[in-house]
A = this chain, B = another copy of it.
């Protein structure tokens, strides 16, 4: 079975040395987020992940969730329910929720490492509390006073969980096609009917009630995505006074059989005239849903990060233990029958690929959390606007790149194990199967790419990009003169210029031919991810000067930064070539001719 120990040293480095969390939190008014508190939270989160969640990861995979089709009830894997009770008991569910809604009001920058730990320890389990956060955010912004009073408290306390009911059998990315109907009943409530699929935690045995946030169409809805409304539909009806009543007519019809995350209940949910309450204005549901979706997308990025880190940790242990062949430059452990495979350059290539993507990805993701905190708690409008622009720009990058890299990292980690990686015993193959969902749900990588280039760069006139480029240039100006950083800064400056040029080129070309956007989006997204990571690796090296870290830690950062710039960053060359090749090579072939070879 694979082990998991949270990377507390690196998490602290990113928080306190790289992102200067202590002065930032003080400045942003998070009075409770002192270093002592944060250290205690991180330590306790690591303990919970290691001792409670990680041991349940394999049983979750092997036994999974089961549906009693007679009753529609779902049983979670052994131990999951008890672990959830402990999680609630520990106060984790409301960690980052505002105190006015019953939460602890800690910064997202603290919630992110906790979320990373939970997902690394047990991704399937982590999906049960996951969407409550989104439901809380949507209800706290768009809910009526009654909805906030009745639903928020139990969600924040973890007594109930939330879901996001978007997808239907015939529509996922294109919600304009959805068919679920909401009929007004005349008493202010609505009757919701339709089938939703891929509903994470749609049904389970962990809590007394489940709060579904459901997209549906009112009878007078305009066609397409401008005619979608949002409803809250509880599993058990809720009276005016908040007391729960009879069972609502929403029921789990089946559980999906999936490649991984077997412990996560992925439900088909049938709404059969279920009682629901309108959230926000009619036909404006998509906007509210985007509030939920954006935090969910960042959360999925963290899932990719967590799985990657765990795969890396285990590959590293194995590479230090597994004895196979001698180092090409002579035996390093002549007293052993062979050298540990970490002496071999190609094994190191894989391990350093993991390390560079994991630790660089952590800095990238946690910075997005800090920008979120600046958005919600910034000192003034200008800072809040800047935080919002940056976090919205970084969201598709974090979501897509950290999940794409989780595919690569779990792949490389398995390769380090050779054939042993393919069998259940070591747990690596489960990490790879679990990781595979992350580039699909909450919007595929292709959807994130369109969001980044089409919406965040083109529609928002590059507000976030300009800020990001400004940060890179400021850093390079301040550090380009230092011997250790000169090379990195010169590469980074060039890439920043290229990033800007590519954005301008693409805006122009897309104006002439609308397919140019979609043709470039994926490679533009990956290019953006690699340049962002280069920025964070250079900043990580720069931060070592003042950081209180062990020499081995500093050595690891310096060597990995070098590896990243020499061996990973050149991938941008291929992405730039693909971006500049335009849409013609994609669009000319007739759909019918794709498979003329069969």
Contacts and interface: CB of A to CB of B under 8 A. Distances in A.
A591 B342 contact: yes
A582 B343 CA distance: 16
Contacts of A556: 589, 593-597
Question: Which of A347, A439, A594 has the most B CB atoms < 10 Å from its CB?
Answer: A594
A26 interface: no
A445 interface: yes
Given A324-B174, A581-B567, A514 B597 contact: no
B424 A432 contact: no
A517 B350 CA distance: 15
A463 to B, nearest CB: 23
Nearest to A570: B577
A487 interface: no
A324 B170 CA distance: 8
Interface stretch (A1-9, A64-72, A235-243, A380-388): A1-9
B550 A596 contact: yes
Contacts of A355: 594
A587 interface: yes
A504 interface: no
Nearest to A359: B597
| Oligomer: number of copies | 2
A278 B579 CA distance: 59
A345 B567 contact: no
A320 interface: yes
Contacts of A555: 589-590, 593, 596
A518 B338 contact: no
Contacts of A345: 515, 517-519, 521, 583, 586-587
Nearest to A424: B257
A256 interface: yes
Interface residues of A, number: 112
A495 to B, nearest CB: 14
A440 B415 contact: yes
A483 interface: no
Contacts of A550: 596
Contacts of A351: 594
A560 interface: yes
A478 interface: no
A515 B328 contact: yes
Interface string A186-211: 00000000000010000000000000
Contact of A172 (B5, B177, B415, B419): B419
Interface in A331-372: 337-338, 340, 342-352, 355, 359
A73 interface: no
Contacts of A313: 595, 598
Contacts of A348: 586-587, 589
Interface in A1-53: 5-10, 13
Given A259-B432, A423-B258, A555-B590, A411 B415 contact: no
Nearest to A525: B346
Given A328-B514, A596-B9, A559 B573 contact: no
Contacts of A323: 170, 174, 177
Give chain A's interface secondary structure class: helix
A474 interface: no
A521 B411 CA distance: 18
A431 to B, nearest CB: 11
Question: Which of A407, A522, A556 has the most B CB atoms < 10 Å from its CB?
Answer: A556
A421 interface: yes
A433 interface: yes
A124 to B, nearest CB: 13
Contacts of A573: 570, 573-574, 577
Given A324-B172, A415-B445, A585-B563, A344 B594 contact: no
A208 to B, nearest CB: 29
A423 B257 contact: yes
Nearest to A450: B346
Interface in A505-519: 513-515, 517-519
A429 to B, nearest CB: 4
Interface in A542-582: 550, 552-553, 555-556, 559-560, 562-563, 566-567, 570-571, 573-574, 577-578, 581
A449 interface: yes
Nearest to A167: B419
A441 interface: yes
A291 to B, nearest CB: 21
B440 A419 contact: yes
A563 B586 contact: yes
15 contacts: A5-B598, A10-B597, A173-B325, A256-B422, A316-B594, A328-B515, A328-B518, A344-B446, A352-B586, A421-B440, A422-B437, A422-B441, A556-B589, A559-B588, A571-B574
The 6 A-B residue pairs with the shortest CB-CB distance in the complex, in nearest-first order: A10-B597, A570-B577, A345-B518, A259-B429, A328-B514, A559-B589
Given A345-B587, A552-B592, A570-B577, 15 more contacts: A7-B598, A10-B597, A170-B323, A174-B324, A259-B422, A345-B515, A346-B450, A419-B437, A555-B590, A556-B593, A559-B589, A559-B593, A566-B577, A567-B586, A570-B574
